[in-house]
Amino acid sequence: MDLQACFANPWIAAVAIIVGFVLLVKGADWLVNGASAIATRMGISDLVIGLTVVALGTSMPEFIVSTVAAINHNTEIAITNILGSNSINTFIILGLAAIIYPLSSQRSCRQFDMPWSLLAGLLVLLFATYTHPQELTLSHWGHFSLQSGFISAIGGCILLLCFLIFMWHSLRVAKSLPDEKSENKVTMRLVHAILFIIIGLIALVIGGEVIVRSATSIAHQLGVSDAIIGLTIVALGTSLPELATSCIAAYRHNTDIAIGNVIGSNIFNIFFILGTSALIHPLPIYPGLWLDAAMVALSSILVMLFVYANPKHEIKRWHGIILVLIYATYLTYRIETM
């Protein structure tokens, strides 16, 4: 049976993309549970598990979709999934969470995480506005062009290097803090943990493949670019874990989790996922890339301005309303000018 022909049916494609999102969310959940159980059995602290296993797990939907898209040469979906997710994370998820309950920030988040999130956005903006074309040939990497707006393997290496520095600093800080034992440790037999990891990875890969194929088919049938689908349907779908986590945390007044979840996800998305995608396949420019990258940088700037502009270092309810309105204006403009 020809799978591509199946995805050509709009109803099948719509159902398939929903099924793909379910597989992504559940696959990430199974993977995190299995990996956390193994880490616990190895005596790794809860804080380190949270900074590595859990943080990576919540970004797995974006990672799988972007890497699958890069492998299939759907480069617009590979990059817009990340840029769209980061914009939705900050403007929509953080905005809605702040409307539910004002979000206070920890000093460590203000002094380190937020600046790194801004650096991530500025690096993408720099790649999008690079104006000095030149050719670079490396025997291992092959032939890549560093033309305007082109994120090559070199750019991917820069992003991954930033990610390693960020993780090194985060783990160093974590080790200096007292480890608070969690009451909800994930415990299971080793064979079950390994089985969870395997099933989770399979679900993630299948879900990512289904989403990329379905999204591409829907874009072609609607006559819109892959970039618009990546910025909207795909980005929103892969941001569902962050949406649920931050809004529930805000409702329960766990503001550190609400804001830290979004900032951490944004850093992972650009430094790790976008960097990995660029190594798999160079990500060329597309119409609107500069604006999409500028919105990611603007979101980080606004969050820092909101947090530093008041003595409580909060993202207030009216800040949240502004974030949501800005995104609504931006998305309307992007759709109308596609």
CATH of residue 321: 1.20.1420.30
Please compute the mean of the pLDDT values over residues 145-158 and round it to a whole number. 68
Please compute the mean of the pLDDT values over residues 67-96 and round it to a whole number. 87
pLDDT digits (tens, 9 = 90+) for 186-222: 567 878 888 888 888 788 778 877 877 787 787 777 7
Q: Is the pLDDT of residue 4 over 60?
A: no
pLDDT digits (tens, 9 = 90+) for 270-293: 999 999 988 888 887 777 888 888
Across 160-164, 168-172, 277-281, the highest mean pLDDT is recorded for: 160-164
φ, ψ at 178 (rounded to 5°): -65, 135
Identify the residue with better confidence: 338 or 267. 267
Identify the residue with better confidence: 254 or 94. 94
Please count the structural domains in the chain.
1
Q: Tell me if 316 sits within 8 A of 306, measured CB to CB.
A: yes
Dihedral of CA atoms 232, 236, 239, 243 in degrees, nearest 10, equals 130
Rounded Cα distance between 224 and 240, Å, is: 23
Q: Tell me if 268 sits within 8 A of 85, measured CB to CB.
A: no
What DSSP state is assigned to residue 283? B
So what's the pLDDT on residue 322?
A: 96
Q: Note the residue count of the chain.
A: 338
Q: What is the pTM of this model?
A: 0.76
Task: Of 227, 262, 221, give the one whose Cα is nearest residue 241.
Answer: 262
The boundaries of the domain holding residue 318 are 3-336
Structure tokens at 296: 């990611």
What DSSP state is assigned to residue 288? T
